[in-house]
Amino acid sequence: MWMHGNIKLKIEGLVYEPREDSFLIYDAIQSSKVAKMDVLEIGVGSGFLSIAASKKGWRITGVDINNDFVELAEKNALLNGIKIDVFKSDLFDKVKGKYDLIMFNAPYLPDSDGEKGSETWSDSGTISKFIDDSKNFLEKNGKVWMVFSSLSGLERIIERFEKNGFKVKIVSTKKIPWETLYLIEAII
């Protein structure tokens, strides 16, 4: 059993175990003064961030492309005595409605060979598609929380958000031995 604060998780299969990047978003959730909001988590994985947000009183919808992760997030929510709305979706493909906040701990690192030309990084890749589509699922003054690394072309990501009409700021950083992690907030 994995634990952090008052959250218990089962970590199964290939699901991403929460780490420093997850904790940047977790800390933002914990320090937020907003009592209620509608939140969408893209790439829900174990459910860690959705569970933390639900415990804050926020209404949560979580999606993941991996059906095993959808099931695991539902199990982990029940393990923590809460219910979250979780379903399978490739980014926004099956998402309906608009949200006050979209959280996405994206696959931000370059390929293992160090190239940034992977599907994640291409103009049609996961991150670009997410940024281009996210504004369609945000309420007025809605925001995106996303983690990036000093190894991942942060400037390019900020530029893409700005080209889509967002105002972007770095809200927190965490230095770890091999990189610096950044939590960005993009407001539409």
What would the DSSP string read from start to end of 94-126?
T--S-EEEEEE----SPPTTS-S-STTTSTTSH
What would the DSSP string read from start to end of 122-187?
STTSHHHHHHHHHGGGEEEEEEEEEEEETTS-HHHHHHHHHHTT-EEEEEEEEEETTEEEEEEEEE
d(CA 72, CA 179): 30
Say which residue the tokens 């369609």 belong to. Answer: 136
Those residues whose C-beta lies under 8 Å from the C-beta of residue 19, and which sit 6 or more positions away, are none
**Tens-place pLDDT, residues 139-188:** 999 999 999 988 888 888 999 999 999 999 999 999 999 899 999 999 99
- Do the domains spanning 1-11+43-90 and 116-188 agree at the CATH topology level? yes
**Tens-place pLDDT, residues 84-119:** 999 999 999 999 999 999 999 988 765 554 444 444
d(CA 19, CA 85): 23
> Is the domain covering 116-188 a CATH 3.90.1150.10 domain?
no
The highest-level CATH class for domain 1-11+43-90 is alpha beta
The angle formed by the CA atoms of residues 163, 167 and 169, to the nearest 5 degrees, is: 120
| pLDDT value at 126 more than 60 | yes
In the chain, where the domains are located: 1-11+43-90, 116-188
Inter-CA distances, 25 with 21, 22, 123, 150, Å: 7, 6, 25, 17
Residue type, 112: S
Residues 12-26 as b/e (b if ≥16 CB within 10 A, e otherwise) read eeebeebeebbbbbb
**Tens-place pLDDT, residues 3-29:** 999 999 999 999 999 999 999 999 999
* Dihedral angle computed from the Cα positions of residues 18, 23, 26 and 28, in that order, rounded to the nearest 10 degrees: -160
The model's pTM is 0.92
